[in-house]
Chains A and B, each alone.
Chain A
Amino acid sequence: MTLHARGLGAHVPGPPPRWLFRALELRITPGEVWAVVGPNGSGKSTLLRGLAGLHEAEEGTVLLHERPLAELPGRQRAQHIAYLPQATPLYHDLRVHQVVMLGRAPHLSRWRGPDREDQRRVDEALARVDATELAQRPISTLSGGERQRAMLARLLATGASLVLLDEPTTALDIGHALRLLALCRELATDGVAVVLAMHELELARRYADHAVCLGAGPDGQHHLGRTADVLTPAILGTVFEVDVHEHPDGLSFHPRSSA
């Protein structure tokens, strides 16, 4: 399954409209890990929502396996593309395994309940994020890290070939963040395409093979390509308005000297 964004453009309504990104050409193929970076408000979430088919961009189209996403029935789209928003509000207090079972929703029949296969997928997903013992807990009793693991299990249970995560590491401590990113790499090895919006540029450099950097200009300019070519000190310095120094073991960031 290839996800192909063609001439994608989205703006914040004006006047005059402010383009978040424009003429964006993106081809995400199985096994790739993409990082979407950019300053706050640069359109990372909008791009992810667009790729997930939840938001129709003002310009361009998103094609899933060469079919326009907008024409695909919601259920079919949901079987192939799984999406984790920045924050998941939780209204009624579902239990973890119920939340994870919702990941199976795109596959469940309306009348027949979940069958053994669904149950197996849920157990497998829970085990994969090391959350088997949380299965019976009400979601409101979980810590931030546990909750993110439960949400991740929900994502995995779908069995989608394309996984979009909006800032999944932002609220996590470094240990949880690294384990989540390692899991994303593992998924990529299994042939899943992973797209991560993130603020941790160092981690993006380490875990993603491709990157999109938004916010590179007032008219929706952006950088896109192999991580090594996009997340460079020069580009990051300009986009985030900071001084970036390259060291043998990574980058360091400093406030831009006003001079």
Chain B
Amino acid sequence: MSPWRARPWPAAVAIFVGTCAALVIALTVGPGGVSPGEAIDVLAAHLGLVAHRQPATVDALVWELRLPRSLLAALLGAALGLAGAVTQGLFRNPMAEPGVLGVSAGAATLAVIGFTLGLDARSSLAVPTLAAAGAGLVLLVLVGLTRDRSDTTTLLLSGIVLGAMCGSLTTLLLALDTERWDLGIKVVRWLMGSLEGRSWAHLRSAVLPLAAAAALALWLRLDLDALQLGPDTAASLGVDLVRTQRLALLAVALLVGTATALAGVIGFLGLVVPHVVRRLGGPGHARLLPLSALGGALALLLVDMLGRSFHQLVLPPGVITSLLGAPFFLWLLRRGDARA
């Protein structure tokens, strides 16, 4: 590899501006014919910057439907990008993905239980709550299995096995209820990831866990850097390996758990985004973590816009990230970026 120069600040500014632009454009995508100018007008009116108001339908379309959905897409994208960066740092492998910890699979299993019991009809936050609990359960089992050891191989294999177990549980639940077609469709929709009908309430519920996880991840940035020199050197630099592993796991579980709870399973984003921004901003976690969050926000916004821009067909974000992410992953492998 030739020596490269990392340009974190231009990269950060570019991604940030791109995200803001994408956010405005996202408000215009879909049926209803809202122009960027109208969208900005609606935002300005709600922020009290202008007095005149757009027609009620345009206002509702932008402010009640598309804005919370797009903000949520950006926020959850940031969560997944950040989770990916933390996972790759913890496992010291640029090919690691938050999904390998089984957290999203655990969230999915409990969410499906919620659907099976019909809890989704009672409250729109019932399934997300259950999914978050599933993510938390997997986290507890992982911490229990690794005890006081800081062995990433055990952790990785435990995560993969737990994920497989949760996956088969989900399938079993569906198999037991084959005659309920509506249930099957709901579950499959949810598993593919969806941002349909997400409201300000969903957005509000995401802010606290994500803020806590982001603060935790940033707090760990030096430890994650030190881990890149191997566990022995990290320990000799004063890094508490067991504590770092637990806190990093907690951060990833909060991020992925929240994202899965609110938007279903969205894969590959956490793998690809940190990989791309590492090329722009370098491998130091002080820059990698915020850049991954920014990049993730932009990526999921774009994915959501792409999913909504087909006539009469809404593509689930999870499907798009996998369809685009998997070939990208293979391309990275071929280029030899897997060098761990």
Contact = CB atoms under 8 A, between A and B. Distances in A.
Interface of A: 49, 52, 54, 73-79, 81-85, 88-95, 98-99, 102-103, 105-106, 108, 110-111, 113, 136-138, 140-141, 154, 158
Contact of B222 (A76, A88, A90, A110): A110
B161 interface: no
A93 B281 CA distance: 12
A105 B238 contact: yes
A140 B229 CA distance: 12
Given A75-B238, A94-B284, A85 B232 contact: yes
B74 interface: no
B238 A92 contact: no
Given A99-B229, A105-B222, A158-B237, 8 more contacts: A85-B232, A89-B229, A91-B230, A92-B228, A92-B283, A94-B225, A102-B229, A138-B4
A103 B239 CA distance: 12
Nearest to B94: A92
Contact of A88 (B1, B94, B233, B282): B233
- Of A90, A92, A95, A102, chain B has the most CB atoms within 10 Å of the CB of A92
Contacts of B206: none
B207 to A, nearest CB: 21
B94 to A, nearest CB: 7
Given A98-B225, A110-B222, A140-B1, A92 B233 contact: no
B93 to A, nearest CB: 7
19 contacts: A54-B232, A82-B236, A83-B232, A83-B236, A85-B230, A85-B232, A92-B88, A92-B278, A93-B283, A94-B225, A94-B284, A98-B283, A98-B284, A102-B222, A105-B237, A106-B237, A111-B219, A138-B1, A138-B4
A125 to B, nearest CB: 14
Contacts of A52: 236
B49 interface: no
B19 to A, nearest CB: 25
Contacts of B239: 74, 105
